[in-house]
Amino acid sequence: MGLHFEGAVAIKAPRTSVWSFLVDPHAISRCLPDVQSLDVREDGKFRATVRVGVSFIRGNFAFDVAMADLDAPNHARITGRGGGLGSAVDVDSTIDLVDGQDGTTTLNWKADVVVSGTIASVGARLLSSTVEKKTGELFECLKAQLES
Tell me what pLDDT residue 125 has: 79
Residue 73 pLDDT grade (very low, low, confident, very high; cuts 50, 70, 90): very high
Tell me what pLDDT residue 121 has: 82
Longest dimension (CA), the chain: 47
pLDDT digits (tens, 9 = 90+) for 49-67: 998 877 777 889 999 999 9
Q: Which long-range contacts (CB under 8 A, 24 or more apart) does 127-130 make?
A: 127/1, 127/3, 127/54, 128/3, 128/5, 130/53, 130/54
Cα-to-chain-centroid distance, residue 119: 18
Which H helix or E strand runs over 134?
helix 124-147
- Whether the predicted model's global pTM rises above the 0.85 cut: yes
Domains, the chain, ranges and CATH?
Answer: 2-147 (3.30.530.20)
The Cα 93–Cα 78 span in angstroms is: 5
Asked whether residue 107 carries a pLDDT value surpassing 90, the answer given is yes
pLDDT digits (tens, 9 = 90+) for 21-60: 999 999 999 998 889 999 999 888 999 999 887 777 788 9
Among 48-57, 74-83, 110-119, whose mean pLDDT is lowest? 48-57
Q: Read out DSSP for 89-121?
A: EEEEEEEEEEE-STT-EEEEEEEEEEEEEGGGG
Residue 18 pLDDT grade (very low, low, confident, very high; cuts 50, 70, 90): very high
Asked whether residue 85 carries a pLDDT value surpassing 90, the answer given is no
